[in-house]
A and B are shown apart, each in its own frame.
Chain A
Amino acid sequence: KAGVTQTPRYLIKTRGQQVTLSCSPISGHRSVSWYQQTPGQGLQFLFEYFSETQRNKGNFPGRFSGRQFSNSRSEMNVSTLELGDSALYLCASSLSSGTGVYEQYFGPGTRLTVT
């Protein structure tokens, strides 16, 4: 089974621009989550999507948004980029069925650099 894929792997943007990152989950996984990883703040939860609906959201400004498509693929968008948005953005997918507790499987990440 193919793992979680993220595109692009590396991205350089200028302050004020916007960016869209893409994530394809493992086949059969309906939950997709996004995390931001920085040296200073560590790993922080951005949001989770399930069946095209945002199910949970972390403490990030409204410039960060996402969506999920009917095939479970997800995109996240960051508008009006700031220098502090430079980070590794990780996507993770998991099964989500009933009340079970499932581990998440992570993609390799997209390294975003804002100049």
Chain B
Amino acid sequence: DTGVSQDPRHKITKRGQNVTFRCDPISEHNRLYWYRQTLGQGPEFLTYFQNEAQLEKSRLLSDRFSAERPKGSFSTLEIQRTEQGDSAMYLCASSLLQGTIGYTFGSGTRLTVV
């Protein structure tokens, strides 16, 4: 296991289209997090899962956003009816429930809405 994997690395989509991103966490990590990062800013929390349960969602996660982690392993983040303001880097992180608290981030998916 080489870390947190995100796919795709880059996505260009037309406004109004739906997009889906995938995150594969470190295999033994129970917790999985989604963040969004715009240029020049720090990451902003969107949501997190403990195993398959989605335990917390940010106000930033509008109705057009949905995240799933059906089997407690990989997760998907879907954005429906994309808007130009959705253009950002979408970062996934994972961590152990116990022990090491610090997150391990993936390299992110860069979304550009045109």
**A is bound by B:** no
